[in-house]
Structure 1
């Protein structure tokens, strides 16, 4: 079955623009599947293969969050500008702008999963289901588990990372090379990295404004404004059917996902045994099967 044609455009948001792409028909009887990418400060590119889910009759909406990709870039805005509320407001605006606020499903990956969880906890009437993929319930848990994973790296690699983090030289080539060792183990285990993932990776590298402000210089050195942020306390307020996804080698370890499973009333959890942080790329066939079962159950 061939994919339905995709439509691209922008939705005005404040004085800015949010870029989006729709695969399928938004007038479908089935809810739209809206994809929230990670980062913060990444792009939709690494999630492009999820457009195939439109074959199930669910229109798929990709979008680039403000600050990166096809949306408005704001490299001169400081950390105070980049808030969780900004991105929640942008999501609400996108749903209204596309006319799907009355019937939609959210898929949030990594940071996008936390953002989707906070949105869902507010009880929006049009939300039919939620997927939280490869996301921690809090950055406190994330940082605790990052320490565990880093200590499993070769001693010289972690020593290099620690030395540059202490010196504030995390933009050096040596830090980048040592960082790749962690990423190849806990972010994407495919070799070489898929083109779609590389596209998003380089988008962050080319404009790290949002990522540096909210996260920090790497996945495991979170020193930005999100370092104390949590959605653990509001996850019990999520009332829609929820699918949790993580990989066996994921940087989002089971300990970081457990609060979602414990607190969300209607949650199921699928662990992908051959994946790290990107099961949709690392185990695409099983990923499609799991998603198809979940989506058909809430249609």
Structure 2
């Protein structure tokens, strides 16, 4: 395994945790990886660190402020907003000297990556957007369509949990676990690193502020997320990456694919939203094949 270095970047009086795998090479630009949430951690994407050995490429993660190893004390809701994480992205890059990179984002991480590239793409040679919506309304519509393919009793259990806010009944847990098995993680049980990332001690309060209580109803600040009108501003070469079983369905992904200039798309057969958990080799190969064209 490539050598790992870790540390913290000062940000707004707090500390943003990072990990770097491998050494920077003259002919291979580092890959900076943005995790989902908002409020999850880099741990569920951790097997991407294997790219440091497999492709001799430096791989960098960081836990966005408010979660994982970058957790902070309780903040008022107005502390959390898109600019908080957009500005953190540029702060981390500046602190670590990441002035010439490739960029990868999964789920919310891909949404964040696109917003950053709309704002300022200087020093980014390519971008991979993995399972990310550009319009939250489409994401929710498709998530609820996917529920319709589940057994009737599970559909009813999810509807009841969403109505009452009680997600801890045996019926609700079984139904949500099945949805996650089909469309989010893609397997059951989850790999250890995914379990760690999704644990209560790792997920930050910002998830509930920005998203809400579940995958199916966005009650937080992201309820109006829609960047379609700005996607034409993205000039970096971009790859959309998703799985056939992904909760980011082809319909979700195609909205971004159609609006980002000269965008490409890799669709992995049988993979769910966290495709690296079950199809790691295929996902890493798709990422490397694309970004290596822009080294």
Same fold? TM cut 0.5? yes
Secondary structure in structure 1 of the residue aligned to 2:292: helix
Secondary structure in structure 1 of the residue aligned to 2:222: coil
Match of 2:182 among 173, 182, 185: 185
Q: Residue 69 of structure 1 corresponds to which residue in structure 2?
A: 68
Q: TM-score, normalised by structure 1?
A: 0.93
Q: Residue 161 of structure 1 corresponds to which residue in structure 2?
A: 158
Match of 1:214 among 210, 215, 232: 210
Deviations 1:161-189 (A, max 9, x none): 21122123235554333211211111122
Alpha-carbon distance in 1 for matches of 2:171, 2:82: 32
CA RMSD of aligned residues (A): 1.7
Q: How is 1:215-234 mapped onto 2 (pairs within 5 angstroms)?
A: 215-234=211-230
Alpha-carbon distance in 2 for matches of 1:252, 1:189: 13
Q: CA deviation at 1:12?
A: 0.3
- Equivalent pairs counted in the alignment come to 294
Alpha-carbon distance in 2 for matches of 1:104, 1:78: 34
Alpha-carbon distance in 1 for matches of 2:188, 2:232: 38
Q: 1:133 to 1:13 in 2, by over 3 A?
A: same
1:265 and 2:295 equivalent? Answer: no
Match of 1:142 among 122, 139, 142: 139
1:289 and 2:285 equivalent? Answer: yes
Alpha-carbon distance in 1 for matches of 2:85, 2:129: 17
Q: Residue 51 of structure 2 corresponds to which residue in structure 1?
A: 53
Q: CA deviation at 1:292?
A: 1.9
Work out whether residues 68 and 203 of structure 2, in 8 Å CA contact, stay in contact via their aligned partners in 1.
Answer: no
Q: Residue 120 of structure 1 corresponds to which residue in structure 2?
A: 117
Alpha-carbon distance in 1 for matches of 2:152, 2:72: 38
Work out whether residues 28 and 57 of structure 1, in 8 Å CA contact, stay in contact via their aligned partners in 2.
Answer: no
Q: Residue 87 of structure 1 corresponds to which residue in structure 2?
A: 85
Q: Residue 108 of structure 1 corresponds to which residue in structure 2?
A: 105
Greater alpha carbon shift after TM alignment, 161-170 vs 147-156 = 161-170
Q: 1:87 to 1:268 in 2, by over 3 A?
A: same
Q: TM-score, normalised by structure 2?
A: 0.94
Q: Residue 31 of structure 1 corresponds to which residue in structure 2?
A: 29
Work out whether residues 240 and 266 of structure 1, in 8 Å CA contact, stay in contact via their aligned partners in 2.
Answer: no
Secondary structure in structure 2 of the residue aligned to 1:202: coil
Secondary structure in structure 1 of the residue aligned to 2:179: helix
Deviating above 6 A after TM superposition, structure 1's stretches of 4 or more consecutive aligned residues are none
